């Protein structure tokens, strides 16, 4: 009997651990998205709008972040996190999992746009051309796959 109780308790702990590991993935993807927002809005977009001076080093760093987070984007949405919500105003639509190939196509198009624009940006004029190209891919995915709560 005791053994059985311990077994059940142990299994429950494993269950709790698994849920919090999944919750960590939600946190991780939300953080990656916030970092995307900083790179695109806070750095590249701010330069394109002449709010901060053009700085090639900062441009390179922003592109490096966008590229790195783009590579892991799909893996931050495993099946086990369907229906889980993190903190904040946004969450993932169930469509991420229900229309998986469409979601992955969006991610691939986004990654292509990032690497193509990265190669094209050399100065303020080319940056100004690049920002909307990337932004279109962000919002193109959000339109279908991101929910705004409340
Ligand atoms: C392939 C789809 C896809 C692409 C591309 C994408 N996002 Fe997202 N983004 C999402 C999804 C889905 C969520 C909701 C994640 C969650 O909360 O589970 C999200 C959430 C966010 C959030 C809210 C984060 C929070 O919790 O506060 C921001 C900001 C954001 N994205 C910015 C960007 C920017 C900027 C880009 C482009 C540089 C981008 N995203 C590209 C799908 C995408």
- From ligand 1's centre to the CA of 121, what distance in Å? 23
Backbone dihedral angles phi then psi of residue 91, each to the nearest 5 degrees: -150, 175
Average pLDDT over residues 42-57: 98
CA 32 / ligand 1 centre spacing (Å): 8
**Tokens, residue 137:** 């891919």
Question: Residue 92 is inside which H or E element, if any?
Answer: strand 90-92
Average pLDDT of the chain is 94
In the chain, % of residues over pLDDT 90: 85
Which protein residue has the closest C-alpha to ligand 1 atom 41? Answer: 138
Tell me the domains of the chain and their CATH numbers.
2-148 (1.20.120.10)
Determine how β-strand 90-92 pairs with β-strand 146-148.
Answer: antiparallel
Residue 67 has pLDDT above 70, yes or no: yes
Nearest Cα to Cα of residue 35 among 4, 63, 3, 7: 63
CB 29 less than 6 A from any atom of ligand 1: yes
DSSP-assigned beta bridge partners for residue 42: none
Ligand 1 mean position to 59 CA, how many Å? 20
Model confidence at 19, pLDDT cuts 50, 70, 90, reads confident
Mean pLDDT of 3-30: 80
Instruction: Please give the residue that has the higher pLDDT: either 94 or 3.
Output: 94
pTM for this predicted structure = 0.91
Convert the pLDDT of each residue in 92-121 to its tens digit.
999 999 999 999 999 999 999 999 999 999
């Amino acid at each position: 009997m005791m053994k059985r109780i311990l077994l059940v308790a142990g299994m429950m702990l494993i269950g709790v651990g698994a849920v919090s590991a999944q919750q960590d993935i939600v946190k991780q993807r939300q953080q990656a998205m916030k970092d995307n927002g900083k790179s695109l809005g806070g750095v590249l977009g701010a330069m394109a709008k002449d709010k901060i001076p053009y700085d090639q080093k900062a441009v390179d760093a922003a592109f490096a972040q966008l590229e790195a987070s783009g590579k892991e984007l799909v893996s931050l949405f495993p099946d086990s996190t369907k229906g889980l919500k993190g903190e904040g105003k946004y969450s993932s639509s169930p469509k991420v999992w229900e229309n998986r190939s469409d979601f992955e196509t969006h991610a691939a198009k986004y990654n292509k746009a990032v690497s193509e624009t990265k190669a094209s940006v050399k100065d303020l004029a080319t940056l100004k051309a690049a920002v909307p190209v990337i932004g279109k891919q962000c919002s193109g995915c959000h339109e279908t796959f991101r929910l705004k709560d409340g």
